[in-house]
Structure 1
Amino acid sequence: MNLEHILFLDIETVPQIENFNDLDPVSQTLWEQKTQYQRKEEFTPEEFYERAGIWAEFGRIICISVGYFKMTGDVRSFRITSFHGEEPLILKEFKILLETHFNRPHHLLCAHNGKEFDFPYIARRMIINSIDIPFKLNLFGKKPWEVPHLDTLELWKFGDYKTFTSLKLMAHVLGIPSPKDDIDGSDVRDVYYNEKDLDRIIEYCEKDTLTVAQIFLRLRNEEILDDNEVVSI
């Protein structure tokens, strides 16, 4: 598998509306119904709403970071860039990237837990925003072996469906510098709405994207990237 044919990515999401009380009555009822199993009796719908970014029906994407390998002779580099701003613009720019540079049959997308979260979340938000789904995200009619997605969590399972291993834990056991040296996924909502610090979220998202690539290298038993091999675009 050619590393240059893989687009590594990570997304950051937040609740679509900052506060539960600002939702219309129908959305509040649907949120209560949607999260009934997860909340049980421990949280009210309002208390649980800070986690709304996890669900594409109630959340939105504020950043997509992508990275790809570039080989120039024996010199290896990993280039990272991010799409951020208003969600429709993020999705349209990401779609253009896929259709322009990662549109061949051999091209693959790779994320950690991407098959359960990143890839379907992006596709759902594209549909909600009336954006045609690009070929690499459109799974309708595809056989399992035709799906152009790699998932480092799935690769680490080796067929075991009973376990979930976080990106942070995988990085730790594989000797990769931790990406979680500032904020965690649970902090993104507060950093976005309360601190209004999108740059901090972008940096966090790019670190996760780099970590996914580092994990993929370790799964191939290859040397991880040095700092001087990473280029921010």
Structure 2
Amino acid sequence: MIERINLENILFLDIETVPEERHFGLLDEETQSLFEQKTAYQRKDEYTPEEFYDRAGIWAEFGKIVCLSAGFFTFRGDIRHFRVTSFFGEEAKILKDFSNLLNNHFSQPQHIMCGHNAKEFDFPFIARRMIINGITIPNKLNLFGKKPWEVPHLDTMELWKFGDYKSFTSLKLLTKVLGIPSPKGDIDGSQVGEVYYIEKDIDRIVTYCEKDVIAVAQILLRFRREDLLIEEEIIHV
């Protein structure tokens, strides 16, 4: 089935998120209380809400998107390219620009979005933040009323599960076992907030995010038993 999908119809993506505020103390009292309630199970008695706040970026209610990278294949005869672009900066603009990309170039029935653990994280996070920012959700992200087989989403972690609902396999682990060059550079997801708020190095975050998008595309190629991308085929727009 995967082999039948036209690669040019797939939009690969990844997001990087951070806590909405730099410090827990910058939240108003009600939001602090709501964060405390939301994270009670995860924190147990090991962390205070303030100590746990550096992880707030994993919840759309308390985090925000600082980078969204997307990639897609193009073919011209025997020449294959993978074009990668990134939206970063102010969140509302990121979401509007990504919405325009979906609506203008990936809105047809044959188009599919693909990410790693994206059904659990990236896709719902983007949709929720669009609602929070007052942005109309593109059809490709709006799942209301759709049957499971009508949802235009592909998830490489789900593909790897083969029906096993107990398994979580990180992108780094999957690339390792599949013989794909590691997408991870000098930072990991837990450090994005620090790089964003303290180092203020958005370029470093963009590079990290784009590497993940490329890795997801490589995984899908491996599933299809096709040659992996080489550096000369990757174009950063």
The equivalent residue for 2:234 is: 230
**Partner of residue 204 from structure 2, selected from 185, 200, 206:** 200
The equivalent residue for 2:104 is: 100
Structure 1: distance between partners of 2:161 and 2:223 = 12
In structure 2, what residue type is equivalent to 1:12? Answer: E
SS in 1 for 2:113: strand
TM-score w.r.t. structure 1 length? 0.99
The equivalent residue for 1:88 is: 92
The equivalent residue for 1:121 is: 125
SS in 1 for 2:203: helix
Structure 1: distance between partners of 2:234 and 2:93 = 26
SS in 2 for 1:132: coil
* Per-residue deviation, 1:181: 2.2
Structure 1: distance between partners of 2:187 and 2:180 = 17
Which ranges in structure 1 are unaligned for 5 or more consecutive residues? none
> Does residue 135 of the first structure (1) align with residue 139 of the second (2)?
yes
* Per-residue deviation, 1:182: 1.2
The equivalent residue for 1:14 is: 18
The equivalent residue for 1:4 is: 8
* Per-residue deviation, 1:187: 0.6
> Does residue 57 of the first structure (1) align with residue 61 of the second (2)?
yes
**Partner of residue 192 from structure 2, selected from 188, 191, 200:** 188
In structure 2, what residue type is equivalent to 1:138? Answer: N
Structure 1: distance between partners of 2:75 and 2:180 = 22
SS in 1 for 2:199: coil
In structure 2, what residue type is equivalent to 1:137? Answer: L
In structure 2, what residue type is equivalent to 1:159? Answer: G
In structure 1, what residue type is equivalent to 2:214? Answer: L
Structure 1's consecutive aligned runs of 4 or more residues displaced over 4 angstroms after TM superposition are: none
* Per-residue deviation, 1:149: 0.1
* Per-residue deviation, 1:65: 0.2
The equivalent residue for 2:36 is: 32
Provide the aligned length of Structure 1 versus Structure 2: 233
Structure 1: distance between partners of 2:20 and 2:204 = 19
**Identity, % of aligned positions:** 68
